[in-house]
Copies of this chain bind each other. A is one copy, B any other.
Amino acid sequence: MATNEDGSVTRKEHHGYIGVSAVIVVMRHGCTEEETEGVRNHIETIRGLQAHISPGVERTVIGVLGEIYPELQNEMEQLPGVLEVVRISKPYKLAGKEMHPEPTLVKVGDVTIGGDEVVIMAGPCSVEDEKQIIDTAITARNAGARILRGGAFKPRSSPYNFRGLGVEGLRLLAKARNESGLPVITEVMTAEDVPLVEEYADILQVGARNVQNFILLDAVGKCHKPVLLKRGFATSYEEWLLSAEYVLAGGNDQVILCERGIRTVETYTRNTLDLGAIPVIKRLSHLPIVADPSHGTGKWHLVAPMALAAVAAGADGLLIEVHPNPDRALSDGAQSLTFENFNKLMNGVRSVGQAVNRPISSGVQ
């Protein structure tokens, strides 16, 4: 590891980040010259950045320029004489809109996510057997879904729950793709499995519990399929975009974000679906964003109203759990729609899509 002559470490060697960001250090009213000098020294000598000192009547303010890294803010708040440190730019770069104003279009076969059309992805929580997944794929397609979802590797909070069929599940998904013509999205839980899942799936899903599994993010950043990145239970928009930044920095620019609810003080619903994330992400980022009202609510009777709401709020797509017989589902039966209810939901979604000038992608030329 490289250190400077004076013993300081210049961080850029670790990451090569060419930042456009800056921070502003506000000194306490009546701070001493030694304190101001200490801050300047920290910035310039220890961290190798530039300090611009503006003495004021009320307070001295010091601007910091250079290759800022996210935690500099917290670090400098601890120095003597410092009142507050404020960051004046976003810590993500590739995921942000400033450097990339046009929306990213993610292409999967003849389906485009992030364009004018709203794309519906549907299927069971878990792949259970051949008949279940193929029946669901064909029904979903006929009702208007463009992408088939289905879990082969399932993260479960208890070790005693059904954890998926694994490779066999991937094979069944591939079979269902052949039968239905729908591309397939499925979850990958660990970096080791990325090559395997990539072989079978058209989109790799990173689940909520893995939103900050950085090893996995690095791995999908190196793969050649689009990645759908779910928001975590307590992930801020900024952290979510930083997780996307991992994938983008790895070289994979086909990233879809998926709002699936956050944990709040309300426990009646499984999660609180934060639909405000949709217009916010549209403002901060060029990446497409879809909503998952099935996990977002955890109750099947709430899925349709929240699906319609997501489309009205501007979602680029929906992820919906559908099962031939939710009562017998091996996982998430409570939030899965029957075929009949999925058909109803598609009709509703089409009406709302039309109302907001976002036609539902239909695959029909």
For residue A86, which residue of chain B has the nearest CB? B86
For residue A313, which residue of chain B has the nearest CB? B309
Q: In the complex, what distance in Å separates the CA atom of A170 from the CA atom of B9? A: 20
Binds B, one of A88-96, A110-118, A138-146, A175-183: A88-96
**How many whole Å from A230's CB to the nearest CB in chain B?**
13
Q: Let me know if B234 and A265 touch, CB within 8 A.
A: yes
Q: Let me know if A249 and B351 touch, CB within 8 A.
A: no
Q: Let me know if A58 and B69 touch, CB within 8 A.
A: no
Q: In the complex, what distance in Å separates the CA atom of A73 from the CA atom of B291? A: 25
Q: Which residues of B contact A58 (CB under 8 A)?
A: 20, 22, 65
Q: Which residues of B contact A44 (CB under 8 A)?
A: none
For residue A79, which residue of chain B has the nearest CB? B327
| Binary contact track A231-251/B, C-beta < 8 Å → 1, others 0 | 011101111001101100100
**How many whole Å from A4's CB to the nearest CB in chain B?**
11
With contacts A74-B298, A249-B159, A326-B78 taken as known, whether A88 is within 8 angstroms of B24 at the C-beta atoms is yes
| Binary contact track A63-83/B, C-beta < 8 Å → 1, others 0 | 101000111001101110001
Q: Let me know if B309 and A275 touch, CB within 8 A.
A: yes
Q: Let me know if A263 and B276 touch, CB within 8 A.
A: no
Q: Which of A302-324 touch B at CB < 8 Å?
A: 302, 305-306, 308-314
With contacts A236-B265, A276-B272, A309-B313 taken as known, whether A88 is within 8 angstroms of B160 at the C-beta atoms is no
| Binary contact track A123-136/B, C-beta < 8 Å → 1, others 0 | 00000110000000
For residue A12, which residue of chain B has the nearest CB? B160
Q: Which residues of B contact A71 (CB under 8 A)?
A: 161, 331-334
Q: How many residues of A contact B (CB 8 A)?
A: 126
Q: Which residues of B contact A224 (CB under 8 A)?
A: none
Q: Let me know if A9 and B328 touch, CB within 8 A.
A: yes
Q: Let me know if A88 and B92 touch, CB within 8 A.
A: no
Q: Let me know if B262 and A299 touch, CB within 8 A.
A: no
Q: Which residues of B contact A83 (CB under 8 A)?
A: 88-89
For residue A357, which residue of chain B has the nearest CB? B351
Q: Which of A2-37 touch B at CB < 8 Å?
A: 3, 7-9, 11, 14-15, 17, 19-20, 22, 24, 26, 28-29
CB of A163 within 8 A of chain B? Answer: yes
Q: Which residues of B contact A155 (CB under 8 A)?
A: 212, 214
Q: Let me know if B98 and A29 touch, CB within 8 A.
A: yes
Q: Let me know if A157 and B215 touch, CB within 8 A.
A: no
For residue A18, which residue of chain B has the nearest CB? B160
Q: Which residues of B contact A1 (CB under 8 A)?
A: 128-129, 165
| Binary contact track A340-365/B, C-beta < 8 Å → 1, others 0 | 00000000100110111000000000
CB of A104 within 8 A of chain B? Answer: no
Q: 4 additional contacts, CB 8 Å, given A59-B89, A78-B333, A352-B355? A: A46-B328, A232-B234, A234-B263, A262-B272
Interface on A for B, CB 8 Å cutoff?
1, 3, 7-9, 11, 14-15, 17, 19-20, 22, 24, 26, 28-29, 42, 46, 54, 58-59, 61, 63, 65, 69-71, 74-75, 77-79, 83-84, 86-89, 91-92, 98, 128-129, 155-163, 165, 189-192, 209-210, 212-216, 232-234, 236-239, 242-243, 245-246, 249, 262-270, 272-276, 278-280, 283, 296-302, 305-306, 308-314, 326-335, 348, 351-352, 354-356
The 7 A-B pairs with the shortest beta carbon distances in the complex, nearest first, are A234-B234, A17-B160, A351-B355, A312-B312, A355-B355, A309-B313, A86-B86
